[in-house]
A and B are shown apart, each in its own frame.
Chain A
C-alpha cells in the first residue's frame, strides 16, 4: 500500500505538472487565417518572382506564419507584403526560411481590412515553395476557378497562455453549442472528465487488489 501511495503521489504530481504546463505554456495567438490548409506545394517562388493572392479579411496582426514546403539555395529570402486598395499596409522579410512553419515579422501592425492582397517574393536566390491548397478564387483564370493558394496565418503580438484566455474559450464554446444552457456544457464536460480521472486514480491507489501470494502463479 505504501508503495502504491508513493506512486500515487508521484502520479498526482505528474498529472498536475502536465495540465499546468499545458495551461500556462506561452504560445502565439492566432488572429485569423485565410482558411487554406498546408496540404500540398502551392506557391512556387523562384528567385525574383512575386506572387500575390487575395485575402478576404486581414485581421489586426504583427506576424504572418506560412509553411515552407521546400527551399533551395542559401541566398533565398522570403518577402511578405500585405496590400489593400490604398496601398501597402505592412511588409516583412525572412532570410533563408527553413522548412516547416515560418513566422515572418511585419514591420508594423496591420489594420483590419477587407479585401486585401498578400504578396510573396523570393528576393534572394534559389527557390522557395509555400504549402497551401487549391481553392476557388474569384476571377481565377484556371480551370474550375481553382488556384493554388498558400496557407497563411495572422498572429497577434506577444505570446499568451491558454489559462489567460479561458474566458474567451468558454465564450466561444458556449456560442458554438446550439440550444439552451449552452454555457453549462463546458462545465459538464469538465466534471465528467474529472470524475473519470478521479475514479480511476482513487481505485488504482486505494482499491487495487493486493497481489496473491499463496496461489500458484500461472501466466
Chain B
C-alpha cells in the first residue's frame, strides 16, 4: 500500500489541491463562528491549547474564555447567526470596535464548561490546538484562521482518499476516478464545513480512509499491515467524533467477509489483519477511557455528567411538531419519519419532510446555522439532475450485474457502513429530541459517506458509455463548479450584502 501511495497519479494530487483551494476560499469568506457549532469547537481547542487537557464540560462553568466571549459579542454573533436578514457589522466604527476588542487584554483560559460538543474526544482539537500554538500571531481571529486551514488540509486528504477509493472500486476507468473526486472536492456543503473549525472534518477524512482501506483490501486481500492501517483510521475517526461508531458494524462485517473470502494461503494473513484492526481500535479506546475519566476529570466516554448524544446545548430551528415519547414506539415512530414518509397511523414528528428538506436539500446546500440556502427552484433542478445521475449509475450496475455479483461482499460492506451511520444519526437525533432540542437533523452528518457520493457520480459518468462518459464527466464537473461558485456568492451576500 505504501508503494501505491508513492505511485499516485497526478490527477489525485490535482483533485486534492482543488479541495484545498476551495475549502480555503470558504474559510476566508465565511465569518468567524458562522459554521455550525464553531464557537464551541473553538472553545474546546483553545481550552486544550491553553491548559493541555480537554474541557471537563461541567454545566456550572462558562464554556468560553473571556477572549472568545468578547470576540463573539464584537462580531454580533447572536444577532447574525440563524437570522438570515441580519448582516455582519460593516461600518468603519464597527471595525474600530473590533480592533479595540482584539487588542484589549482578555483571559485566554476558559473554565471548560459544557457545550454541545464537549462529549467529542480530543484528537481533532489536539491538532487544532497545535495550529493555535504555532500561529505566529496571538490574536484569536488569526489563530482561528490557522485552525480553519487545518480543516482545509483535512478536506484535501479526504478527497485524496476518495480518489484512491474510486481507483480500487472502478480500476478499469481511470478518468472516472477524477470525475468522482472532483465532484466531492467541489461539493458546497463539504467546502463550507471544511472551511470552519469543526471535528466533523477529521471524521470525514477518517471515514473516507476507511472506505479506501476496505476497498483496497477487497481487491488485494487483507494483510496484517492493512488491518493495522484500517484500525488506525477507525481509531482516528473515533477520537475525532463519536459518530464514527456508526461505521463500526460495517467495518466489522467487512473484516469478517474479507477473512471468509481469503484464499486458503492468505487466510492466516487475513485473520491477523482483522485481529490487528480490532486490537488497534481496542487499544486506542482503552487508552482514551483510561485518560478521560481519571486524568482529565471527564466522564467515561464523553464530558462530565452528560450522556453521549445529549441534546443539551444544541440550538436549532424548532421544526418538531411534538417531542417523541421515550418508549420504543416513540423511537420507532421518530426513526421512521426521520427518513421516510409518515404513515397514516403515526403521530406527526416533523413540520417538514426530512428526506427531502433536511437530507436532500441540506446536502445540496443549507449553510450557516441552517439559516440560508438557494432558491427553491435550485433544489428542484438539483433533484432532477441527481435522479438522472442515480439512474445512470443504476443502469451501469444492472448492465454489469454479473461483476456486481462477484463483488457482492464489498457491496454489502458499503451498505452496512451506510446503514450503521444512518441509524446512529437517527439515534442521536432521537436522544436530542427527547432532551428537548430542535433542529439536530443536518445533512452534514451524512458526509462521512462522501466516498459513496463520489462513487455514484463516477458510476453515473461510466453509465453514459465509453463514448459519452468522459463528456458527461466534464459536464458534471462544470455543474459542480457552478454549484459551488453560486454557493460562495450566496454566502458572500448573506453576510456582507
One digit per residue, 1 when the CB lies within 8 angstroms of any chain A CB and 0 when it does not, for chain B 461-488 equals 0000011111111110111111111101
Contact B497 A169 (CB under 8 A): yes
Chain A neighbourhood of B317, CB < 8 A: 39
Whether A3 contacts B468 in the complex (CB less than 8 A), given A19-B482, A162-B497, A192-B21, comes out as: yes
Contact A165 B497 (CB under 8 A): yes
Add 7 more A-B contacts to A178-B139, A189-B488, A192-B24 (CB < 8 A): A162-B489, A175-B91, A176-B94, A192-B22, A197-B481, A199-B18, A209-B178
Contact B82 A37 (CB under 8 A): yes
Closest Cβ of chain B to A149, distance in Å, is: 12
Q: Does B5 contact A (CB under 8 A)?
A: no
Contact A15 B482 (CB under 8 A): yes
Which 9 residue pairs spanning A and B have beta carbons closest together?
Answer: A11-B478, A172-B90, A196-B21, A189-B28, A3-B471, A192-B25, A193-B25, A7-B471, A7-B474
The CA-CA distance from A207 to B10 in the complex, in Å, is: 10
Contact A4 B474 (CB under 8 A): yes
**Could you list 14 A-B pairs, sorted by A, with CB under 8 Å?**
A8-B478, A30-B85, A39-B318, A172-B90, A172-B496, A176-B89, A185-B28, A200-B477, A203-B182, A209-B11, A211-B470, A218-B171, A218-B403, A219-B404
In the complex, identify which listed stretch (B95-103, B121-129, B292-300, B329-337) lies at the interface while the others stay far away.
B95-103
Chain B neighbourhood of A71, CB < 8 A: none
Which A residues form the contact surface with B (CB < 8 A)? Answer: 3-4, 6-8, 10-12, 14-15, 17-19, 22-23, 30, 33, 35-37, 39-40, 153, 162, 165, 168-169, 171-179, 182, 185-186, 188-190, 192-193, 195-197, 199-201, 203-205, 207-213, 215-219
Contact among A18, A212, A217 with B482 in the assembled complex (CB-CB below 8 Å): A18
Within 8 A of A (CB), among B95-115: 95, 98-99, 102
Contact among B102, B178, B400, B403 with A204 in the assembled complex (CB-CB below 8 Å): B178
Contact among A174, A208, A215, A219 with B403 in the assembled complex (CB-CB below 8 Å): A219
Q: Does B492 contact A (CB under 8 A)?
A: yes
Chain A neighbourhood of B31, CB < 8 A: 176
Chain B neighbourhood of A12, CB < 8 A: 478
A-B contact count (CB 8 A): 209
Contact A196 B18 (CB under 8 A): yes
Contact A209 B174 (CB under 8 A): yes
Whether A193 contacts B21 in the complex (CB less than 8 A), given A4-B470, A35-B83, comes out as: yes
The CA-CA distance from A44 to B326 in the complex, in Å, is: 32
Chain A neighbourhood of B328, CB < 8 A: none
The CA-CA distance from A4 to B469 in the complex, in Å, is: 9
Closest Cβ of chain B to A69, distance in Å, is: 11
Main DSSP-derived SS at the B contact region: helix
Main DSSP-derived SS at the A contact region: helix
One digit per residue, 1 when the CB lies within 8 angstroms of any chain A CB and 0 when it does not, for chain B 336-361 equals 00000000000000000000000000
Contact B175 A35 (CB under 8 A): no
Closest Cβ of chain A to B331, distance in Å, is: 25
Chain A neighbourhood of B474, CB < 8 A: 4, 7-8, 11, 204-205, 208
Closest Cβ of chain A to B438, distance in Å, is: 9
Q: Does B173 contact A (CB under 8 A)?
A: yes
Q: Does B252 contact A (CB under 8 A)?
A: no
Q: Does B380 contact A (CB under 8 A)?
A: no
The CA-CA distance from A12 to B470 in the complex, in Å, is: 16
Chain B neighbourhood of A8, CB < 8 A: 474, 478
Contact among B403, B467, B481 with A15 in the assembled complex (CB-CB below 8 Å): B481
Closest Cβ of chain A to B459, distance in Å, is: 9
Contact among A10, A188, A218 with B172 in the assembled complex (CB-CB below 8 Å): A218
Contact among B14, B139, B480, B489 with A179 in the assembled complex (CB-CB below 8 Å): B139
Chain B neighbourhood of A10, CB < 8 A: 475, 478
Closest Cβ of chain A to B15, distance in Å, is: 8
The CA-CA distance from A186 to B470 in the complex, in Å, is: 34
Which B residues form the contact surface with A (CB < 8 A)? Answer: 10-11, 14, 17-19, 21-22, 24-25, 28-29, 31, 75, 79, 82-92, 94-95, 98-99, 102, 139, 141-142, 169-175, 178-179, 182, 185-186, 317-318, 371, 397, 400, 403-404, 407, 466-475, 477-486, 488-490, 492-493, 495-497
Give the nearest-CB partner of B99 in chain A: A178
The CA-CA distance from A23 to B482 in the complex, in Å, is: 13
Closest Cβ of chain A to B96, distance in Å, is: 9
Contact B22 A209 (CB under 8 A): no
The CA-CA distance from A209 to B84 in the complex, in Å, is: 44
Contact among A40, A175, A213 with B95 in the assembled complex (CB-CB below 8 Å): A175
Contact B478 A15 (CB under 8 A): yes
Chain A neighbourhood of B496, CB < 8 A: 169, 172-173, 176
Chain A neighbourhood of B88, CB < 8 A: 172, 176
The CA-CA distance from A39 to B316 in the complex, in Å, is: 9
Chain B neighbourhood of A193, CB < 8 A: 21-22, 25, 484-485, 488
Contact among A176, A182, A196 with B186 in the assembled complex (CB-CB below 8 Å): A196
Closest Cβ of chain A to B379, distance in Å, is: 15
Contact B89 A19 (CB under 8 A): no
Whether A35 contacts B86 in the complex (CB less than 8 A), given A200-B182, A219-B170, comes out as: yes
Closest Cβ of chain B to A45, distance in Å, is: 21
Give the nearest-CB partner of B195 in chain A: A189
Contact A208 B25 (CB under 8 A): no
Chain B neighbourhood of A195, CB < 8 A: 21
Chain B neighbourhood of A199, CB < 8 A: 14, 17-18, 21
Chain A neighbourhood of B407, CB < 8 A: 219
Closest Cβ of chain A to B478, distance in Å, is: 2
Whether A207 contacts B485 in the complex (CB less than 8 A), given A3-B467, A173-B492, comes out as: no
Chain B neighbourhood of A213, CB < 8 A: 466
Closest Cβ of chain A to B463, distance in Å, is: 11
The CA-CA distance from A8 to B477 in the complex, in Å, is: 9
Contact B89 A175 (CB under 8 A): yes
The CA-CA distance from A110 to B422 in the complex, in Å, is: 51
Chain A neighbourhood of B170, CB < 8 A: 219
The CA-CA distance from A22 to B468 in the complex, in Å, is: 30
Contact A11 B489 (CB under 8 A): no
The CA-CA distance from A216 to B173 in the complex, in Å, is: 11
Q: Which among A4, A11, A30 has the highest number of chain B CB atoms within 10 Å?
A: A11
Closest Cβ of chain B to A32, distance in Å, is: 9
Contact B470 A208 (CB under 8 A): yes
The CA-CA distance from A174 to B92 in the complex, in Å, is: 9
Chain A neighbourhood of B473, CB < 8 A: 204, 208
Closest Cβ of chain A to B366, distance in Å, is: 15
Contact A207 B11 (CB under 8 A): yes
The CA-CA distance from A175 to B76 in the complex, in Å, is: 13
